[in-house]
Structure 1
Amino acid sequence: MLPRIADSLSFLYLDIVRIHQDDTGVCAEVTSEQRGTETVYLPTAALSCVLLGPGTSITARALATLARHGTTVLITGSGGVRCYAATLPDSLTTTWLERQTRTWADDAQRLAIATAMYEMRFGTHTVPPGTTLEQLRGMEGQRVKALYRVLAQQHKIGRFRRAYDPASWDKQDPVNLALSSANTCLYGIVHAAILALGCSPALGYVHNGNQQAFVYDIADLYKAELTIPLAFSLNTSANPEAEARRSFRDGLRLFRLMPRIVSDIQSLLDPDHTREAPDPEEHLVDLWDPVTGTVPGGTNHAAAT
């Protein structure tokens, strides 16, 4: 089923807990020196995505219950940053994956979505009709350079040039180190949101030829707002990478980034989407037909031949 964006519990992050199933439901055991062991029951039916951080263990029975309720389970880094693995329930709708693949495979639709992504960065109705993708890339480059220049002046660090060189990582300046670290965090969160929708991280519209192509597409929508200003604010930090990760993680609740990412992906893939996903309890799978479209599954079609 589609993640319930309006529900504040659509995405739940847990760490340093033991998750198991008892006779009542799925619960998390939290142990601390001050309060001992406490049990918190999880509203599994109201969750679309559970992110399991460091120090988390979960039993097979609890995982099976989450799968029955259509909940995506992600193995993540601290604070939901970075996505290492995911378990997708078989009841997760393919609605958004199908829309993604159809628009990605059609050059005209792919160009339209790539253009919409750039327009989301520039502002609504700011891209003149007939603007080519090459021109959009140039406009985006100018916008980012202007932002670098303004932030460099604000923080009095002189001229800034973006550099990413893994071979000489330790020789980079604090802003570049912080920016690379914060972007990595952002990629993990975007990856988690894409998987929660059932989309493919590999099918990008602007980026291409990488298993993270769609992740990079979506992450680029937020860098100017989130990671770039954060990186410049750490220009005097002695440990910019760690501080960037902590600051970005601490600001996640303020940003309400997860629901925003999912909403943006949905509006890009289907701007007029109003249809709800079919209830997986009603039918588990449909059949495809090149003439009639979707055909109900679970039916003997011998009489139709």
Structure 2
Amino acid sequence: MSTSAEPDTQRSRTDARRRLAAPTVAMLPRIADSLSFLYLDIVRIHQDDTGVCAEVTSERRGTETLYLPTAALSCVLLGPGTSITARALTTLARHGTTVLVTGAGGVRCYAAALPDSLTTTWLERQSRTWADDTKRLAVATAMYEKRFGHGTVPPGTTLAQLRGLEGQRVKAHYRLLAQQYKIGRFRRAYDPASWDTQDPVNLALSSANTCLYGIVHAAILALGCSPALGFVHHGNQQAFVYDIADLYKADLTIPLAFSLHASTNPEAQARRSFRDGLRLFKLLPRIVTDIQDLLDPGTERDIPDPEEQLVDLWDPITGVVPGGTNHGADR
């Protein structure tokens, strides 16, 4: 025999399930999570009644469909041979996913579609730090120490002195690799006007660096920062890209370029080797973490508080003002 309490209990359970399923800020994917970046190529992406899916067609296996976890993606990189419908783009934008058009393996960045829900937190920190000469020098110094070790910059070092220290370190690195590969004296040169006359190491280094710039560009855009506001480089729409890419050249592109000193086609081989040897889904989160450490040093970042406001208001006197509130009574 049923009692009147049973419907109430059932309703209570249903309400509890709904509360658990309701999206919160803490459930939003962080950009450093394993699913934050997804690279796709040679697929057709479209929206059906279930969700956004990628169709892969091959002679051997026919057409296969893979549904994308749109709610758990911060950035989708569309490689060569990819097509996407407007409905699928709309769904990705609604979930706050950045969509980038890239080269093979995500190693170049040609265009980006940024959702209007993308936070401006890191852009604001970047612009404030960039506009303050003291803070800008501090970031430039931190970049140097990320490359060459903590404490390698003497106190009071100016930006001009920092550039000199950086140049000496890089030249020493070139000399060490030149001795290792027995190629004699090496001089870094980049001259598009006489491209074909350059030596294999310079050609390979320029090609590999271009690939690295694309990956860094993708990470910067996915984070919501400006590629143009650099701290060491200046006056170019990719100034910040060059800044961040310099953090990884000594480990990634420079040794690769020297290893191709005898290559007959160093440009193509550098691109292939860089793409094949690169762990894309580990480098991208690393880039994001490094940018966050540079713009907000000493702060431990974790899952946001579930009660945190998604949108705040700005006030020049009090700072951040909570959003979602009618402030008409404050007047």
TM-score by length of 1: 0.94
SS of equivalent to 1:242:
helix
SS in 2 for 1:50: strand
4+ long deviations beyond 4 Å: 275-284
Q: CA 1:159/1:172 → structure 2, altered by over 3 Å: closer, same or farther?
A: same
2:92 maps to 1:66: yes
Q: What is the rounded CA distance, in whole Å, between the counterparts of 1:278 and 1:98 in structure 2?
A: 18
Structure 1 residue 284: Cα displacement: 5.7
Inter-partner Cα distance in structure 1 for 2:312 and 2:325: 10
Are residue 112 (structure 1) and residue 134 (structure 2) matched?
Answer: no
Q: Which amino acid aligns with 1:204?
A: G
Check if 1:80 corresponds to 2:79.
no
The Cα of 1:5 is off from its aligned counterpart by: 4.5
For structure 1, list consecutive stretches of 5 or more residues without a partner in the other structure.
none
The reply on whether 1:197 has 2:223 as its aligned counterpart is yes
Equivalent of 2:322 in 283, 296, 303:
296
**5+ unaligned residues in a row in structure 2: which ranges?**
1-24
- Please give the secondary structure, in 2, of the residue aligned with 1:180: helix
Q: Work out whether 1:167 is the aligned partner of 2:196.
A: no
Q: Does 1:10 align with 2:36?
A: yes
Amino acid at match of 1:122: F
The two structures, once aligned, show a CA RMSD in angstroms of: 2.0
Alignment of 1:1-305 (within 5 A): 4-253=30-279, 256-274=282-300, 285-305=311-331
Distance 1:96 1:254 in 2: 22
Give the number of the structure whose alpha-carbon radius of gyration is greater.
Answer: 2
Match in the other structure for 2:12? none
| DSSP 3-state at the match of 1:20 | strand
**Distance in 2 between residues matched to 1:3 and 1:191, nearest whole Å:** 20
**Range that drifts further, 35-44 or 189-198:** 35-44
Contact persistence 1:93–1:277 (CA under 8 A): no
Distance 2:208 2:143 in 1: 21
Task: Give the superposition deviation at 1:277.
Answer: 8.3
Question: Is contact 1:3–1:196 with CA below 8 Å preserved after alignment?
Answer: no
State the aligned residue count.
Answer: 305
| Structure-1 separation of matches of 2:87 and 2:70 | 13
Work out whether residues 29 and 72 of structure 2, in 8 Å CA contact, stay in contact via their aligned partners in 1: no
Identity across aligned pairs (percent)? 86
Tell me the TM-score normalised to structure 2 length: 0.87
